[in-house]
């Protein structure tokens, strides 16, 4: 891996390591080293460099929300009265555990969020009692996801 003026160039070995871990973050380093043909110590060293450079920002377990009863995913475009309301609105949205993502956007909405709910009643409660009651929110536009078709990371 080379870092040139904050542009990071990863080589073929780095890509193989990353692909293996992206498909399963629990893949043992020794298994990766055998597959690639370099030592486990070299893999660890490369992983530390990739973490230090910011290419890798962590690893996580993925929980299946449906098993926990969360079956309704929705995307909500939020219209705010003023751009000055953005930071405070985001602070309030952070307090709602069902809000998974929050993005400032161009276009019609000030903020676009992704939420996960148990059902449509839960969604309606969140909209009416929590999201639309946030100071500065003038209105919302909701899209319910019927079925997620693609879920991936950037390809290496």
Q: What is the pLDDT of residues 46-102, one digit of tens each?
A: 999 999 999 999 888 889 999 999 999 999 999 999 877 789 999 999 999 999 999
Phi, psi of 72 (to 5 degrees): -115, 115
**Domains in the chain: how many in total?**
2
Instruction: Provide the pLDDT for residue 2.
Output: 61
Whether 104 is covered by a domain: the verdict is yes
Q: How far apart are CA 69 and CA 107, in angstroms?
A: 33
Whether 126 is covered by a domain: the verdict is yes
Whether 66 is covered by a domain: the verdict is no
Buried b (16+ CB within 10 A) or exposed e, 132-142: eebebbeebeb
Q: How far apart are CA 9 and CA 11, in angstroms?
A: 7
Three-class DSSP category at 30: helix
Residue 89 burial by Cβ neighbours in a 10 Å radius (0-12, 13-18, 19+): buried
Quick one: what percent of the chain has pLDDT higher than 70?
A: 96
Q: Which two tokens stand for residue 3?
A: 């870092």
Nearest CA to 142 out of 79, 100, 64 is that of 79
pLDDT category at 6 given cuts 50, 70, 90 is low
Three-class DSSP category at 19: helix
| Higher-confidence position of 147 and 61 | 147
Q: With 70 as the cut, is the pLDDT of residue 1 above it?
A: no
| Cβ(113)–Cβ(95) below 8 Å | no
Instruction: Provide the pLDDT for residue 82.
Output: 84
List alpha helices for the chain, DSSP H.
12-23, 29-36, 40-53, 86-94, 120-125
Q: Quote the mean pLDDT of the chain.
A: 92
Whether 16 is covered by a domain: the verdict is yes
Please tell me whether residues 101 and 37 are part of one structural domain.
no
pLDDT, tens digit (0-9, with 9 covering 90-100), for 97-119: 999 999 999 988 999 999 999 99
Q: Which domain holds residue 35?
A: 2-53
Q: How many Cα neighbours within 13 Å face the side chain of 149? A: 1
């Amino acid at each position: 891996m080379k870092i040139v003026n904050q542009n990071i160039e990863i080589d073929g070995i780095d890509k193989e390591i990353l692909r293996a871990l992206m498909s399963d973050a629990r893949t043992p380093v020794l298994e990766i080293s055998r597959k690639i043909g370099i030592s486990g110590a070299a893999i660890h060293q490369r992983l530390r460099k990739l973490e230090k450079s910011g290419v890798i920002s962590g690893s996580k377990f993925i929980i299946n929300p449906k098993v926990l009863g969360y079956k309704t995913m929705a995307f909500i475009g939020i219209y705010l009265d003023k751009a000055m309301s953005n930071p405070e609105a985001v602070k309030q949205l952070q307090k709602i555990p069902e809000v998974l993502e929050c993005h400032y956007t161009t276009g019609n909405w000030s903020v676009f969020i992704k939420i996960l709910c148990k059902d449509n009643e839960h969604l309606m409660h969140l909209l009416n009692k929590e999201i639309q009651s946030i100071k500065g929110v003038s209105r919302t536009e909701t899209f319910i996801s019927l079925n997620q078709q693609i879920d991936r990371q950037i390809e290496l």
